[in-house]
A = this chain, B = another copy of it.
Amino acid sequence: MKKITLQDIASHLNISKSTISTVLNGHGDEKRVSKETQEKIIQFAKESNYKANHLARGLSLGKSDMIGLVIPNIGDNYYARIARRIERKARLSGYNVVFSSTGEKQERESELIQSMLSRGVDGLIIASSQKNEEDILKLKKNNFPFVLIERCYPELETNFVGEDNEGGVSLAVKQLIQLGRKRIGFVSLKPGLEAMRMRLEGYQNTMEQRGLVVRDEFIHELEYEYSEDEMYEVVKSMVQFPTSVEGIVFATHFLAASGIRALKQLNIRVPMDVALISFGQMNAFDLIEPPVTAVVQPVDELGDRAVEILLENLEGKNLNHRKIILSNSLKIRKSCGAI
């Protein structure tokens, strides 16, 4: 792919590289380049379809106009949607985005951050595995622009855009309670993720506030890579006499999907026997019988805000750390017993 360079234009037009660069960067007037030359240059650049070499430009300027996005898994609908917003908004400001999936592995996350840095990204947006405080701290110490999304390090003062996990679960639990359920269970992932801890707290606090007992048997935490069989056992145990639940809140959309599968296998009627609510949406939740009530996460806004903050940082303004917690809402459908 032969590309035309500044030098090419220079030779062709018999004007120096520097002048051409100045003009093409829009500093023509301020540097008092004559109208004529300006036009000649712009004209020719357009004709020859000149596009500056970003690598060279970046090397010289010390910036790359690239934003790195480090997330657990781009294949997950949740992150994919966030990525979409991020890319869109970044593009509008002239940035491209490089992404990488960590698979929730600390080691890979660390590598990826390093790799992105050596690649010269101007800033990072990270949904951290939360087992990588070291790298994040390093970024912070070096004053490198970055914003954490969805998962934060509570001990670290950093930019952060997240959602109200506790409040979201609380919405769900309250909804179930309001519909008359008292023995409510909670299925989540083993801690390690702050978000999961907050969701658990949301569950516990709300139950307590409403004066409902939380039995040990009500709470189940699966490994991140659980099997459908494990979910089956969990759900089975939850619906068993004498501690059987009347409602379940699932801490993520995929847990909910697995849970529903298990409930079907067990021939448990939803919501008659057990009502349920999912934290997080899934595309076809409205098509499932009964349609699934879900906590709707503010994905779009999350992506948008993350980019906004990062861009502000990149432009050097508003350098103090910002923590933004977006609120969740509840999409009520039949699975919770309503309607």
Chain B residues in 8 Å Cβ range of A59: 53, 55-56, 59
**Contact residue among B55, B73, B87, B286 (Cβ-Cβ distance under 8 Å from A74):** B87
**Contact residue among B51, B83, B100 (Cβ-Cβ distance under 8 Å from A96):** B100
CB pair B99–A54 under 8 Å, yes or no, is: no
Chain B residues in 8 Å Cβ range of A257: 283-284, 287
Chain B residues in 8 Å Cβ range of A157: none
Chain B residues in 8 Å Cβ range of A282: 283-284
A75 interface residue, CB < 8 Å from B? Answer: yes
Chain B residues in 8 Å Cβ range of A58: 55
Contact A143/B1 with A52-B118, A55-B55, A282-B284 known, Cβ cut-off 8 Å: yes
Closest to A65 in B: B119
Chain B residues in 8 Å Cβ range of A54: 118-120
Q: Which residues of A (59-73) have their CB < 8 Å from a CB of B?
A: 59, 64, 66, 73
A282 to B142, CA, bound (A): 43
Interface of A is mostly: mixed
A77 to B80, CA, bound (A): 8
Shortest beta-carbon distance, A275 to chain B, in Å? 16
Chain B residues in 8 Å Cβ range of A284: 257, 282-285, 287-288
Shortest beta-carbon distance, A269 to chain B, in Å? 13
Closest to A300 in B: B75
CB pair B96–A97 under 8 Å, yes or no, is: no
Contact A81/B88 with A53-B120, A115-B96 known, Cβ cut-off 8 Å: no
A91 to B74, CA, bound (A): 14
A35 interface residue, CB < 8 Å from B? Answer: no
A289 interface residue, CB < 8 Å from B? Answer: yes
A3 to B88, CA, bound (A): 30
Contact A287/B286 with A55-B55, A80-B74, A144-B1 known, Cβ cut-off 8 Å: no
Contact A283/B87 with A51-B114, A55-B64, A99-B99 known, Cβ cut-off 8 Å: no
Shortest beta-carbon distance, A5 to chain B, in Å? 11
Chain B residues in 8 Å Cβ range of A1: 117, 139, 142-144
A19 interface residue, CB < 8 Å from B? Answer: no
Q: Which 8 A-B pairs have the closest CB atoms?
A: A75-B84, A80-B80, A289-B289, A284-B284, A51-B118, A1-B144, A1-B142, A54-B119
Interface residues in chain A, defined as those with a beta carbon under 8 Å from any beta carbon in chain B = 1-3, 51-56, 58-59, 64, 66, 73-77, 80-81, 83-85, 87-88, 91, 96-101, 114-120, 139, 142-144, 254, 257, 260-261, 264, 282-289
15 cross-chain CB contacts under 8 A = A1-B139, A51-B114, A51-B118, A54-B119, A55-B58, A55-B120, A76-B80, A80-B80, A88-B101, A91-B100, A261-B286, A261-B287, A282-B284, A283-B284, A289-B289
